[in-house]
Structure 1
Amino acid sequence: MRLTHYLTGAELTGTETAALLRRARELKAAPLHSRALAGASVALIFERPSTRTRVSFEVGVSELGGHPVILRGEEMQLSRGESLRDTALVLSRHVAAIGIRTGPDETVEELAAHASVPVINLLTRDHHPCQALADLLTLDEEFGHLDGLKLAYVGDGNNVARSLAIVGARVGVTVAVAAPPGHQLDPVAGAILTDDPYEAVAGANAVYTDVWVSMNDAPETAAARREALAPYRLDGRLLAAAAPGAIALHCLPAHPGEEITEEVLYGERQRIWNQAENRRHAQKALLERLISGPPA
């Protein structure tokens, strides 16, 4: 079987992505049904802090019968100058797959170039494809289909917005991204880009946001970002401007009062906690697909 990595979400076709999401729903209904990783280990490298990604992958690998090997960046020889090539060659002799949460996309790309096992992007500066899978699974659960849905993303045009646009287009979801000048997403095929949040949410089945300030932003940068992004807060008024029955989504961690109001974060129309749980189920389906191959 051709070695497949999952670095941006573009590696799988729309048909393959839809099949993966169907499998994720099956695994959610019967979490211990599959033992696809029995006797196998998966290396999970964390060079950035993590809650949802680490817990969902660690538990997911265990539920599939495998052993998660957690590797913190500062504990690895990478921190002392060992090359990514050598790291990939060594890990490939021990594990069935490698996941990495890091900064530069070039790090994941180089690891994948030298690994002889699948490499999964757990988050980089430009992409967060595993999050997008969980988001689409949440939409599918809520509406019973994906093709023809519209998702509006409001705020910073970041890695999450990019992955939603890439993966969403593969399964027929229109993604509209509203961001202020200087924070806009670069063009992605099929995505609607605007600086007007109300234009983005018009007719949307889901309204999505993310944090305004990342963990690496300097204090002076953070203040400027908050000022620029304030009109893009996901509040009750913005959600009401979306389609009837629209839901609110957030990839977390959230900062109530900044990018989302407490009313929306904990309100009846949010599906944020389902979304957080769905990381595990979507990622289990992904691990099955990458390690065992597509269903016969």
Structure 2
Amino acid sequence: MNAAAMFVKLVSVNSLKTLLKLSSRSFSSSCAAVNLKGRSFLTLKDFSSDEIQRLLWVSGDLKHRIKHQQQYLPLLQGKSIAMIFEKRSTRTRMSTETGFSLLGGHPCFLTSQDIHLGVNESCSDTARVLSGFCDIVLARVYSHSTLEDLDEAASIPIINGLSDLYHPIQILADFLTLQEHYGSLRGLTVSWIGDGNNVLHSFMMTAAKLGVHLRIATPKGYEPVQSVIQEAQKLSKEHGTQLLLTSDPMEAAHGSNVLVTDTWVSMGQEEEKKKRLKDFEGYQITMKTGSVCKPDWTFLHCLPRKMEEVDDEVFYSSRSLVFPEAENRKWTIMGLVVSLLTDYTPQTPMLKF
């Protein structure tokens, strides 16, 4: 190579490095400028790439400062959260109660036996009453329309703790877990093998925005909602990621970094159990499923887990991230409520995306 060519190559390489640095600074600046105070959190469909990255950054920052540096951060001192639970839960209840308390706030747990939501009192009236008592509401409900009714009437933020359509707080924990494990998210391939349910819907509203490819295998008749598929296809095209929908689990798993599944029989579907188990034959995640993945493949499950969904060899292996994933439900709900209720600025460096 002559001197002139060497000079051109050197300039090109240095220019690329400069461009990448500027791009990184621009990206960091746009994410750092995000302010979510006062927003509700019903679906990740309503949140941009920068906003989701900001939530993950705040969550990671709180985890580092509180868990690893042993700092006390009373960011929610004097604030309270109403926790409405139409459906029982372990992780959602414990993560919210312990996380909100750890930040100095007061959680109030309300079941359908404690309040009259939509029965003796309308959702609208309940929302107005709670708006005068507390600062934020987390509702774990059967119908997504209940959340929309609460949000329309409330003057405080409403958080979706789970609905029949979406489970966005679970997805924040999943992506924080993957970010911690792999170092960054962009370019990862996540394969969902299971039911076309609320957790999958939230993955579909988020993955492309973080530069993550998504491969989905569901049995015929158990596909995601069509409107969610259309929105996911639009997001994939917009962000330059791949989206695959198939009924073949091994096809979905091929070349993946992450295998994900969930219960095949959700609460309220117990009468369908026998048929569902038959329809999902061949969908159990095993080491054989992982054999077509990338060498660094890992496994996620939002819990509780049943044997038919994933065998012990995978679930309790070093590839399984399910227990760090469960713990991150706490740090991400903390990051979320802090972002929706305060002007907090993270003190640790921004995570790599």
Equivalent position amino acid for 2:282 in 1: P
Contact 1:4/1:11 (8 A) holds in 2: no
Cα deviations by residue, 1:147-182 (Å, 9 ceiling, x for unpaired): 111100101010011101112222111221100100
In 2, Cα distance between equivalents of 1:10 and 1:126: 12
Contact 2:169/2:333 (8 A) holds in 1: yes
Moved more, 198-207 or 99-108: 198-207
- 1:277 and 2:312 matched: no
In 1, Cα distance between equivalents of 2:200 and 2:134: 31
Write the mapping of 1:23-42 to structure 2, written as runs, cut at 5 A. 23-31=58-66, 32-42=71-81
Contact 2:37/2:341 (8 A) holds in 1: no
Tell me the SS of whatever aligns to 1:199. helix
Cα deviations by residue, 1:31-54 (Å, 9 ceiling, x for unpaired): 254322111001110010100100
Contact 2:200/2:224 (8 A) holds in 1: yes
In 1, Cα distance between equivalents of 2:343 and 2:87: 29
Equivalent position amino acid for 1:28 in 2: K
In 2, Cα distance between equivalents of 1:110 and 1:80: 14
In 2, Cα distance between equivalents of 1:115 and 1:164: 27
CA RMSD of aligned residues (A): 1.5
- 1:11 and 2:11 matched: no
Q: How far is 1:2 from its partner? A: 7.0
Write the mapping of 1:1-296 to structure 2, written as runs, cut at 5 A. 3-31=38-66, 32-78=71-117, 80-186=119-225, 187=229, 188-189=232-233, 190=236, 191-219=243-271, 221-256=272-307, 258-293=308-343, 295=345
Q: How far is 1:295 from its partner? A: 3.7
In 1, Cα distance between equivalents of 2:91 and 2:296: 27
Aligned to 2:14: none
Q: How far is 1:95 from its partner? A: 0.9
TM-score (ref. length: structure 2) = 0.80
Larger Rg: 2
Moved more, 77-86 or 14-23: 77-86
In 2, Cα distance between equivalents of 1:46 and 1:134: 20
Q: How far is 1:118 from its partner? A: 0.5
Give structure 1 stretches of 5+ with no counterpart.
Answer: none
In 1, Cα distance between equivalents of 2:137 and 2:124: 13
Tell me the SS of whatever aligns to 1:10. helix
Contact 1:251/1:276 (8 A) holds in 2: yes
Percent identity between the two aligned chains: 37
In 1, Cα distance between equivalents of 2:118 and 2:53: 38
Equivalent position amino acid for 1:214 in 2: S
Q: How far is 1:293 from its partner? A: 4.2
Aligned to 2:350: none
